């Protein structure tokens, strides 16, 4: 989603952690994986699995999703340690210096806290209370992640290749809005 034209021109780099430059192989890591692309991929695989096994997809997602935000917590701490996905420039005392030498919001910590810890506790505390309402935890997860991500994106540096859309929103915020409404729809269902 975030650099589609590059990956359409270099599709092997989606799954191959090396780059070939001047006929030399160099380890580059796995890039181009966004949260929103992963959600679509996981949904597609879960849907196929649920059809093949004749299990309701919400039975699977409601069982698995309460624990998923803990993975975000550790992933965002990893982003911080790697000095990636940092925040916008700030004058605040809580700012940190990253590779560009500019004082920035440590948005990885904001995401680790809200998308990881807070969302985990919300879902974990509701898992038994909503066990009879199929899809409720899935909807709360999607709406909660969308809500937190939308607001935290105001502190996160937009991707260089995309910048702002409509002058003030990031692509992540646009996807987060859709995720929020999909989750709200599922909860109301």
List pLDDT tens digits, range 66-92.
999 999 999 899 889 988 889 999 998
φ/ψ bin of 143: left (φ > 0), alpha (ψ from -120 to 50), beta (otherwise): alpha
With 60 as the cut, is the pLDDT of residue 137 above it? yes
The arithmetic mean of pLDDT across residues 124-133, rounded, is 94
The DSSP line for 168-189 is TB-HHHHHHHHHHHHHHHHHH-
Determine the pLDDT at residue 47: 93
Determine the pLDDT at residue 29: 61
User: Is the model's pTM score more than 0.75?
Assistant: yes
Determine the pLDDT at residue 162: 77
Determine the pLDDT at residue 41: 85
Query: What does residue 24 show for φ and ψ, rounded to 5 degrees?
Result: -120, 130
Quote the percentage of the chain above a pLDDT of 70.
92
The arithmetic mean of pLDDT across residues 97-113, rounded, is 94
Cβ–Cβ under 8 Å, residues 171 and 165: yes
* Averaged confidence pLDDT in the chain: 88
Cβ–Cβ under 8 Å, residues 159 and 2: yes
In 81-172, DSSP assigns E strands to: 96-97, 103-104
Choice between 1 and 45, residue whose per-residue pLDDT is larger = 45
Structure confidence by residue, pLDDT tens digits, 144-168: 999 999 999 999 998 877 788 888 8
Structure confidence by residue, pLDDT tens digits, 22-42: 777 776 665 555 788 788 888
């Amino acid at each position: 989603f975030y650099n589609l034209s590059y990956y359409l021109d270099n599709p092997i780099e989606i799954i191959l952690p090396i780059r070939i430059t001047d006929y030399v192989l160099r380890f580059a890591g796995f890039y181009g994986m966004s949260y929103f692309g992963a959600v679509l991929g996981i949904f597609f695989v879960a849907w196929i699995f649920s059809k093949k096994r004749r299990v309701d997809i919400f039975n699977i997602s409601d069982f698995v999703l309460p624990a998923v935000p803990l993975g975000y917590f550790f992933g965002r701490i990893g982003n911080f340690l790697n000095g990636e996905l940092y925040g916008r420039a700030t004058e605040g005392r809580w700012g940190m210096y990253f590779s560009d030498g500019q004082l920035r919001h440590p948005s990885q910590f904001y995401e680790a806290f809200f998308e990881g810890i807070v969302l985990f506790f919300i879902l974990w505390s509701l898992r038994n209370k909503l066990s009879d309402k199929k899809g409720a935890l899935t909807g709360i997860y999607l709406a909660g992640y969308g809500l937190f991500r939308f607001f935290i994106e105001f502190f996160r540096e937009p991707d260089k290749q995309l910048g702002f859309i409509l002058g003030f929103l990031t692509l992540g915020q646009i996807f987060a809005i859709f995720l929020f409404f999909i989750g709200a729809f599922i909860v109301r269902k």
